[in-house]
Amino acid sequence: MTELRVTQLEEALDAALLDQGLHPGFKAWIRRLVFDEKDDWRMCCGNHCEPCVLPMATAVDQVRKQIGWQEGEGEPSLQEARR
Protein backbone atom coordinates (compact mmCIF):
# COMPACT_ATOMS: atom_id res chain seq x y z
CA MET A 1 0.00 0.00 0.00
CA THR A 2 1.57 3.24 -1.07
CA GLU A 3 -1.49 5.45 -1.30
CA LEU A 4 -4.26 5.86 1.23
CA ARG A 5 -7.28 8.11 1.02
CA VAL A 6 -7.34 10.61 3.87
CA THR A 7 -11.02 9.84 4.46
CA GLN A 8 -10.27 6.10 4.70
CA LEU A 9 -7.69 6.71 7.43
CA GLU A 10 -9.90 9.19 9.29
CA GLU A 11 -12.87 6.81 9.22
CA ALA A 12 -10.71 3.95 10.49
CA LEU A 13 -9.34 6.12 13.31
CA ASP A 14 -12.79 7.33 14.34
CA ALA A 15 -14.18 3.78 14.38
CA ALA A 16 -11.26 2.43 16.43
CA LEU A 17 -11.50 5.22 19.01
CA LEU A 18 -15.23 4.62 19.38
CA ASP A 19 -14.86 0.83 19.57
CA GLN A 20 -12.18 1.07 22.28
CA GLY A 21 -13.92 3.81 24.27
CA LEU A 22 -11.04 6.23 23.75
CA HIS A 23 -11.55 9.99 23.82
CA PRO A 24 -11.32 11.63 20.37
CA GLY A 25 -8.48 13.73 21.75
CA PHE A 26 -6.22 10.69 21.36
CA LYS A 27 -6.79 10.53 17.59
CA ALA A 28 -3.47 12.19 16.66
CA TRP A 29 -1.60 9.88 19.03
CA ILE A 30 -3.23 6.76 17.57
CA ARG A 31 -2.58 8.05 14.03
CA ARG A 32 1.14 8.39 14.83
CA LEU A 33 1.31 4.95 16.43
CA VAL A 34 -0.38 3.27 13.46
CA PHE A 35 2.73 3.89 11.36
CA ASP A 36 5.31 3.43 14.16
CA GLU A 37 7.03 0.15 13.41
CA LYS A 38 8.82 -0.13 16.76
CA ASP A 39 5.78 -1.16 18.80
CA ASP A 40 7.89 -1.02 22.00
CA TRP A 41 5.23 1.18 23.59
CA ARG A 42 2.70 -1.67 23.89
CA MET A 43 3.68 -2.98 27.33
CA CYS A 44 1.17 -2.26 30.09
CA CYS A 45 2.87 -1.01 33.26
CA GLY A 46 0.02 -2.08 35.57
CA ASN A 47 -0.39 1.39 37.10
CA HIS A 48 -3.95 1.90 35.85
CA CYS A 49 -2.95 4.65 33.41
CA GLU A 50 -5.73 6.47 31.62
CA PRO A 51 -5.79 5.54 28.90
CA CYS A 52 -4.00 2.22 29.25
CA VAL A 53 -1.87 1.18 26.30
CA LEU A 54 -3.90 -2.03 25.89
CA PRO A 55 -7.01 -0.44 24.33
CA MET A 56 -4.72 1.93 22.45
CA ALA A 57 -2.83 -1.04 20.99
CA THR A 58 -6.12 -2.67 20.03
CA ALA A 59 -7.19 0.57 18.31
CA VAL A 60 -3.88 0.73 16.43
CA ASP A 61 -4.26 -2.89 15.30
CA GLN A 62 -7.84 -2.22 14.21
CA VAL A 63 -6.80 0.78 12.10
CA ARG A 64 -3.89 -1.13 10.57
CA LYS A 65 -6.20 -3.97 9.58
CA GLN A 66 -8.87 -1.66 8.18
CA ILE A 67 -6.44 0.31 6.00
CA GLY A 68 -4.44 -2.76 4.96
CA TRP A 69 -1.14 -1.55 6.42
CA GLN A 70 1.63 -4.13 6.63
CA GLU A 71 4.76 -3.93 8.78
CA GLY A 72 7.73 -2.64 6.84
CA GLU A 73 5.66 -0.44 4.52
CA GLY A 74 6.30 2.78 6.39
CA GLU A 75 3.83 5.63 6.26
CA PRO A 76 1.82 5.77 3.04
CA SER A 77 1.29 8.88 1.02
CA LEU A 78 -2.13 10.24 1.84
CA GLN A 79 -4.36 11.15 -1.07
CA GLU A 80 -7.34 13.44 -0.88
CA ALA A 81 -10.53 11.66 -1.87
CA ARG A 82 -11.56 12.43 -5.42
CA ARG A 83 -15.09 13.70 -5.87
Give the pLDDT of residue 69.
79
Number of alpha carbons in the 13 Å side-chain half-sphere of residue 55:
16
Residue 59: predicted pLDDT: 98
Instruction: Tell me: pLDDT of 83 over 80.
Output: no
> DSSP character for 79?
E
Domain ranges of the chain: 3-71
Residue 3 DSSP SS3:
strand
Residue 31, C-beta contacts closer than 8 angstroms, at least 6 positions apart: 9, 13
Question: Do the beta carbons of residue 35 and residue 69 sit within 8 Å?
Answer: yes
Instruction: State residue 29's pLDDT score.
Output: 94
- The values of phi and psi at residue 14, to 5°, are -60, -45
Q: Pick 57 or 6 by higher pLDDT.
A: 57
pTM over 0.75: yes
> pLDDT per residue over 9-64, tens digit each?
999 999 999 999 999 999 999 999 998 888 889 999 999 998 999 999 999 999 99
